Each structure stands twice: as C-alpha cells, then as structure tokens.
Amino acid sequence: MEPLLSINNLKTRFHTEDGIVKAVNGVSYSMKVGEVLGVVGESGCGKSVHALSIMRLIQIPPGEIESGEIWFDGRDLLKLDNNDMRHVRGRDIAMVFQDPMSSLNPVYTVGFQICEALMLHKKMNKNEARHRAVELLTLVGIPEAKRRLDNYPHQFSGGMRQRAMIAMALSCEPKLLIADEPTTALDVTIQAQIINLVVKLQEELGMAVMWITHDLGIVAEMAHTINVMYAGYIIERGNVRDIYKRTLHPYTFGLLGSLPVIDEAPGTKLISIPGLPPDLIDLPKGCPFYVRCTYRVDQCKFELPPLMESESSQHTVACWRWQEIDGKGTK
Amino acid sequence: MGRYILRRLISVIPTLIGVTLIIFLFQRLIPGDPAVAMLGEHATQENVERIREQFGLNRPAFLDREALADGDLTGFFDSQYIRYANRLLHFDLGNSIHRRIPVVETLSERFPATLELATLSLLISLLIGLPVGIASAARRNSALDGVTMVGSLIGVSMPIFWLGIMEIMLFSVFLNWLPSGGRLSTGIVITPITHLLLLDSLLTGNIPGFVDALKHIAMPAIALATIPTAIIARMTRSSMLDVLQEDYIRTATAKGLAERVVLFRHALKNAFLPVITIIGIQAGTLLAGAVLTETIFSWPGIGKWVYDSILGRDYPIVQGVTLLIAIIFLLVNLIVDISYAILDPRISYD
C-alpha cells in the first residue's frame, strides 16, 4: 500500500549569529495510513523541528528547509505554493502543541477557535460549525460542552485546554495528527487521560498519529513504530517490540536504562547517559553519539554510520557495532 | 460593563479634587504678585491693595485660623481655595485678570480650535501609523521595514518648530498653495454648530468653507501629527513582533488560516492592547494644546493662550486650562481602560 507520509533526506537548519544550527540532518522514513509513530529523543534532537518542517511551520528566516522531499498523499509538500499548503494544514495534517497554556489565543473564545477551522476547511456556516464544535468538545471529554464553547481559554484548566486543542486538531478529520509533546506540560494523571483519549480517537477515526516525546514509556503503550532521534538523525527505527526487546543502538539502550522500573530493588541507580549531545552548530564528522558511547571504536570517530538494516528490514539502526550490542539491551 | 464604567467614573472625583489642590498650590509657588503683574511695576501700594482685595488675593490660602480664633466660622472658610472650589462647582473659572472677561468664555471659543486640530492630527497618525507598523512587523527586515524604521526615527526626533517653518516656507511662501496661519480666511463664514469648522461646514453643506478650513488646518495638522505617527508606528511594530512569536499564532497558522487572517484577526487584537495606551497618551498630549504648533501657525487654540497667560501671571486662565487638561487626561485614561476591558476578556469588570 502507498504510504501516507514519506520523508526523504529532510534537512532543516537555522541561521543564527553563532553559526548554522543543523537541527535535522537527512531524515528519511515513511508512515502508513492509520499508523501510530512515536518519535523519541532528548530536547534539541530535532524531533519537533522535523515535525514543524512537515507542516512548513518553520519560521523562514532564520530557519531553512535545506533539502529533502516530504511526500504526503501523492504530493511533495515542500513544492506546494503557500495557498495549497494552507489547505493541507489543519485539514489533512493537524498538530497539537506542547504548551496548552499558550497555544490558544487568549482574546477569542474556545468555541470560536474551533469553529474557525470548520468554517475554513469544511465550508460550514456559523451555526453548523458551532453544532459540530459542541460534538467535538463532547468527544474529547469536556463536560457541558455547549456552555463551555463561549468560555475563553483562561477559564479552562491546562488539561481542558489540551483537550480543546485536540478537538480543534480533529475538527476536520485529518489523515495525520502530529502531537508534539502534548502531555509534557500536564500533571501525570491528566497525561494518562490525554494519551488514552488520543489512542481511543485514533482507533475510532483511523487516522495516523505521530507522537513526539522524550518519554519512551508513553510511546511504548501506544505506538506501532518508533523513531529514535539524536542530534538531528534517526539513529534507530523499528516496531515497538524490537525497540524495547531487541535494542540495537547504545543511545536507545541508554534511554531505556534511564527509565525507572517499578519492581526494581530500592536503591538501584538509574542509568544515565554521561555527557551532553553534540553542538548542532559544530557536528562531529563521525557518529554524533561517539563521545558519550561506551561501545565506541576508532571507526565511529571518522565515519558517520548510515541507517542500516539489522536482522529484519523493518528494524534499522545507525551504529557500526549493532551486532555486538544486539541482545544486550534486553531487559 | 455599565457598572464598571460607572465605578470608573466615580473614581475620577477624588482625583479631580486632588488636581484642583495641586493646581492651586503650584500657582502660589510661582514667584511674583499677580496684582503687581496686572498693574505694572509703578503701581501705587494703594491700587495694589485694592486689586488684591477685589480678587481675594489678600485672603489666606486654605483656612483662616485667626477668624476661627475670633469665632468667625464664615471667615474661617473664606479662603482663596474654598472660593476657587465653590466657583468651580458653578462652572465659573473666574475672570481673566488682564482682559477682565470670564475664562469660560474664552475657553469655549478656543478649545474647539484645539479639539479640531488634535482630532485631525490623531486621525492622521492612526491612519498612517497603524498600517505602517503592522506591515513592517509582518515583513520584518524587508526594505519596507527599513524605510519605516528610519522614517519613524526621523519623525520622532523631528523638531516641530523647524518642520512647521519649512512647511510654511514651501507651501505658503514658494508655492503659495496654503495659508500660513489662522483657521479661516476673512470673508468666509461658517455657521457654527459644533464650532469644529470642518464638521460645521460639511453639516451646512458649505463646500467653499470646508475647502478653506481644510487649507488652513492642513499644515498644522501634519506638523502636529508627525511625532504621534512615528511613535504609533514604532509601538505597533514592536508589539506585533512580540505577538507574532506567540504559540497561538503558530496554532492559527497550523489551522490553515491565511497569513492575512492570522495577522489581522489573531495577532492584531492582542498587539493592539499596549498600542492603545500609547494612543491614549498621544491623544491627551494633542488635546492639551500644542504650544509650538499653535504659535507657528497662529492657531487660535488653548496652547498659545495658556502660554501667554503663564507669562502674564493670569492665574485664573492658567488654573482653568490646567484643570481642563487634567479632565481630558482623566477621560482619555477612562476610555483606554474601558477599551482594554472590551478587547481583553482576561480583564474582569468586577
């Protein structure tokens, strides 16, 4: 089947006073219709920037999508003119952002902000849009949706705002929902509610979901496939089972080791990855993880490992020594 | 909302009383005897005393303690300030010391001229400043933005007296297109309704009158609008730039809205809040009379009048005009506060 989204060698950079920040460095992968993809990595690994590049929401300047192709539904999004791109945004691909407190416009009602997309893409009139907005708010679990429609964002709690953002994103039944760390700013109990909500809606509506997070635990529950990103590269990609049970990249191994496990003996230290990610302005010639890696050899310093197929074509890894690591990552 | 406005109006009263006290006190701090100023250096002591008696200048400032000691309660309250406050309540600002005519009379003659000039200048500066500010924020670092920034810097630092004189040199002296001063040519009559000549001439269908009034007001209005235009453009630009960085602007774009809608619907309403404060201050300043502009263009408004009155120590006029300016500022602030409450739902009326 034709993939829904297919990204080819995407490179995004930012021109700053200190130099060129290479945020995304040749990312390629594809997503199927209805697939849930988890994109995992530390802050600054390029996961949000690559998502914003898909939506073409990178501010240019200082940003620049240097090269690549983003095929969605048979069209290269990077070649669309602004007007065509507008029709993709919100209608075909919708996005939910990290901070619900600042993502809604404070001077318009929540209802108006949801109706806006409906009137734009679905050509609904005001009444139809309001009617649909009530349905959407009910769908995402906001009680008394009809009354809440005329509330302003400051009258909503953080969790409710994120629900409203999701309602807004779902309003035009997008084929792909990009959720950029949507639960990071929320309480843990609310986090679980939002995750369950998206999982439920994904199953009901059959849309593809890209869930961006730094928390491997979250995507373990919901994703089919996981991309692990580091310094603007995808360093490991595979289905959830492979990533967790047959970890191949030392960085993924480290990420998993830094997750607390409930039945571990008290006093067991969490494994942390020593050092910091490389400076994106001055990337090393070889493997970006070299300085922090416990498996490093000289080859890693000078040759950038490409994403290679491992035991299966579905599980790829960018490490020269994956065969030696294979199996050691099992928990 | 109505209650909010009412409460804001009531809160104006104590401020107004404070204003009258301050005006009164400052007057007394200015050195020089108004009676002497009125009669000239060589006046006899007898005449000075007579004038002081006539204008109550021989009374104590606030309360007469000696009269209280004598048991004279009326005398106790018979002070310069109480007399002044009492007259104010009857809309009596006193008489001009020099011209002997009521201040209110001259004020109602002159204030419309200032009001007309100020309103037109404010309109010009809004019509130019706002769009220019928005456009240069939307196209940051473009050629347009560069021109705007340099232009507004020149505008802000432009000496108005120089600009006014240059205008007169060019349009009155060399080109002979526009009159160099006054509000209306002799021989042109406009039936007064509001005393705003442009408005009155339109209301009465007096086209020659309108054209003549417009020719007179054009140069002073442009000179007076220069600084506010530049300030409003800069403020709008920087406020828009701040707002355009906000997450909700990205949300609006991600929704698929056109750039124009994002700018005017989602950004402008937020960016307008700090701009309103600036517009308010500019409006107050313009209405308070522009001494320089009015002097250069012989504009018969309150600016020139109050300047002359200060030099002549004509206390009642200075007090009256200062009070008027204070009231204008209070009203402008009230309007600014109410606009804030209308534009920003996070501000509650209670």
Q: Which of B89, B117, B146 is the last residue of a domain?
A: B89
Q: Is residue B320 part of a domain?
A: yes
| Contact call for A89 and B259, based on CB within 8 A | no
Statement to judge: residues B53 and B168 lie in one domain? no
Statement to judge: residues B31 and B156 lie in one domain? no
Count Cβ–Cβ pairs < 8 Å, chain A vs chain B. 71
Q: Is residue B350 part of a domain?
A: no
CA gap A180, A49 in Å, rounded: 10
Backbone Cα Rg of chain A: 21
Residue in chain B closest to A99 (alpha carbons) equals: B247
Which strands form A63-72's sheet, in the order they lie side by side? A19-31, A5-16, A63-72, A75-76
- Identify the pLDDT of residue A328: 60
Q: Pick from A94, A102, A107: which is nearest to B247 by CB?
A: A102
Q: Is residue B96 part of a domain?
A: no
Q: Is residue B198 part of a domain?
A: yes
- Tell me how many domains chain B contains: 2
Statement to judge: residues B109 and B76 lie in one domain? no
CA gap A288, A301 in Å, rounded: 9
Q: Among the listed ranges A239-248, B115-124, B260-269, which one has the minimum average pLDDT value?
A: A239-248
- Identify the pLDDT of residue A262: 66
Task: Output the CA torsion sign for B326, B332, B338, B341.
Answer: negative
Between A304 and B52, the higher pLDDT residue: A304
CATH (domain of B293): 1.10.3720.10
Q: State the distance between the two ends of chain A, measured CA to CA, in whole angstroms.
A: 34
CA distances to A110, A173, A223 from A191, rounded to whole Å, are 21, 23, 16
State the complex-level ipTM: 0.85
Statement to judge: residues B41 and B162 lie in one domain? no
| Interface residues of chain A, partner chain B, Cβ below 8 Å | 55, 57, 61, 82, 86-91, 94-95, 97, 99, 102-109, 113, 116-117, 120-121, 152, 154, 165, 168
- Identify the pLDDT of residue A329: 47
Percent of chain B with pLDDT over 70: 97
DSSP assignment of B179-241, as one string? -SSSSS-TT-----SSS-HHHHHHHTT-HHHHHHHHHHHHHHHHHHHHHHHHHHHHHHHHHHH
Q: Is residue B323 part of a domain?
A: yes
Residue in chain B closest to A87 (alpha carbons) equals: B256
CA gap B27, B276 in Å, rounded: 33
- Identify the pLDDT of residue B122: 95
Between A42 and B40, the higher pLDDT residue: A42
| Contact call for A152 and B252, based on CB within 8 A | no
Statement to judge: residues B84 and B126 lie in one domain? no
* Chain A positions in Cβ-Cβ contact with residue B343 (cut-off 8 Å): 107
- The string of pLDDT tens digits covering residues B228-242 is 999 999 999 999 999
Q: Where are the alpha helices (DSSP H) in chain B?
A: 2-10, 12-29, 34-39, 45-54, 65-69, 73-77, 80-89, 103-138, 143-157, 160-167, 197-203, 207-244, 247-254, 259-261, 268-287, 291-296, 302-311, 315-343
| Contact call for B345 and A107, based on CB within 8 A | yes
- The string of pLDDT tens digits covering residues B85-105 is 888 888 888 788 778 888 888
* Chain B positions in Cβ-Cβ contact with residue A108 (cut-off 8 Å): 266, 269
B217 neighbors B198 (Cβ within 8 angstroms):
yes
| Contact call for B252 and A165, based on CB within 8 A | no
Mean pLDDT of chain A: 86
Provide the residue count of chain B.
Answer: 350
Pairing of strands A316-317, A36-40: unpaired
| Interface residues of chain B, partner chain A, Cβ below 8 Å | 141, 246-248, 250-259, 266, 269-270, 343-346
CA gap B138, B271 in Å, rounded: 12
| Contact call for A105 and B250, based on CB within 8 A | no
- Identify the pLDDT of residue A331: 40
CA gap A283, A273 in Å, rounded: 19
Strand ranges for chain A from DSSP E: 5-16, 19-31, 36-40, 63-72, 75-76, 93-96, 176-180, 208-213, 225-230, 233-239, 308-309, 316-317
- Determine which helix (DSSP H) or strand (DSSP E) holds A306, and give its type and residue range: none
- Identify the pLDDT of residue A226: 92
| Contact call for B256 and A87, based on CB within 8 A | yes
Statement to judge: residues B84 and B108 lie in one domain? no
Pairing of strands A208-213, A36-40: parallel
| Mean local confidence (pLDDT), B238-263 | 92
Q: Pick from A61, A97, A107: which is nearest to B250 by CB?
A: A97
B209 neighbors B186 (Cβ within 8 angstroms):
no
Residue in chain B closest to A113 (alpha carbons) equals: B252
Domain carrying residue B39: 2-89
Q: Which of B62, B89, B116 is the last residue of a domain?
A: B89
CA distances to A228, A277, B275 from A231, rounded to whole Å, are 10, 7, 42
B317 neighbors B106 (Cβ within 8 angstroms):
yes
Statement to judge: residues B81 and B126 lie in one domain? no
| Contact call for B257 and A55, based on CB within 8 A | no
CA gap B172, B179 in Å, rounded: 6
| Mean local confidence (pLDDT), B150-170 | 89
What tokens does B156 get? 């802000």
CA dihedral B119, B120, B122, B123 (to 10 degrees): 110
- Identify the pLDDT of residue A264: 66
**Can you list the residues of chain A whose pLDDT is less than 50?**
329-331
- Identify the pLDDT of residue A330: 44
Strand ranges for A243-285 from DSSP E: none
| Mean local confidence (pLDDT), B318-338 | 87
Q: Is residue B28 part of a domain?
A: yes
Q: How far is B126 from chain A (nearest CA, A)?
A: 22
Statement to judge: residues B10 and B60 lie in one domain? yes
Q: How far is A29 from chain B (nearest CA, A)?
A: 22
Interface test with A, best of B142, B242, B248 (most A CBs within 10 A): B248
Buried b (16+ CB within 10 A) or exposed e, A315-324: bbbbbbbbee
Residue A19's contacts (CB-CB under 8 Å, 6 or more residues apart) are A281, A282
Helix A158-170 and helix A188-205, axial crossing angle in degrees, nearest 10: 10
Which strands form A308-309's sheet, in the order they lie side by side? A93-96, A176-180, A208-213, A36-40, A225-230, A233-239, A316-317, A308-309
* Chain B positions in Cβ-Cβ contact with residue A88 (cut-off 8 Å): 256
| Mean local confidence (pLDDT), B130-152 | 91
Closest to B67 in 3D by CA, of B48, B51, B82, B54: B82
Q: Pick from B247, B250, B344: which is nearest to A107 by CB?
A: B344
| Contact call for B256 and A86, based on CB within 8 A | yes
Residue in chain A closest to B340 (alpha carbons) equals: A107
Long-range contacts of B345-350 (CB under 8 A, 24+ apart): B345/A106, B345/A107, B345/A109, B345/A152, B345/A154, B346/A106, B346/A152, B346/A154, B349/B1, B349/B3, B349/B4, B350/B4
Statement to judge: residues B124 and B79 lie in one domain? no
Statement to judge: residues B40 and B163 lie in one domain? no
Residue B43: burial class (beta carbons within 10 Å; 0-12, 13-18, 19+) = middle
Q: Is residue B297 part of a domain?
A: yes
Q: What backbone phi and psi angles, to 5 degrees, belong to B73? A: -70, -40
Q: What is the pTM of this model?
A: 0.80
- The string of pLDDT tens digits covering residues A115-135 is 998 998 888 899 999 999 998
DSSP assignment of B135-163, as one string? HHHHTTTSHHHHHHHHHHHHHHH--HHHH
| Mean local confidence (pLDDT), B336-340 | 87
Interface test with B, best of A107, A151, A156 (most B CBs within 10 A): A107
| Contact call for B253 and A89, based on CB within 8 A | yes
| Mean local confidence (pLDDT), B303-326 | 84
Q: Is residue B98 part of a domain?
A: no
Q: Which of B59, B89, B119 is the last residue of a domain?
A: B89
Q: Pick from B258, B266, B343: which is nearest to A105 by CB?
A: B266
Q: Pick from A57, A104, A105: which is nearest to B254 by CB?
A: A57
Statement to judge: residues B195 and B125 lie in one domain? yes
Which single residue is written with the structure tokens 């005897």? B33
* Chain B positions in Cβ-Cβ contact with residue A56 (cut-off 8 Å): none
Q: State the distance between the two ends of chain B, measured CA to CA, in whole angstroms.
A: 9
Statement to judge: residues B156 and B225 lie in one domain? yes
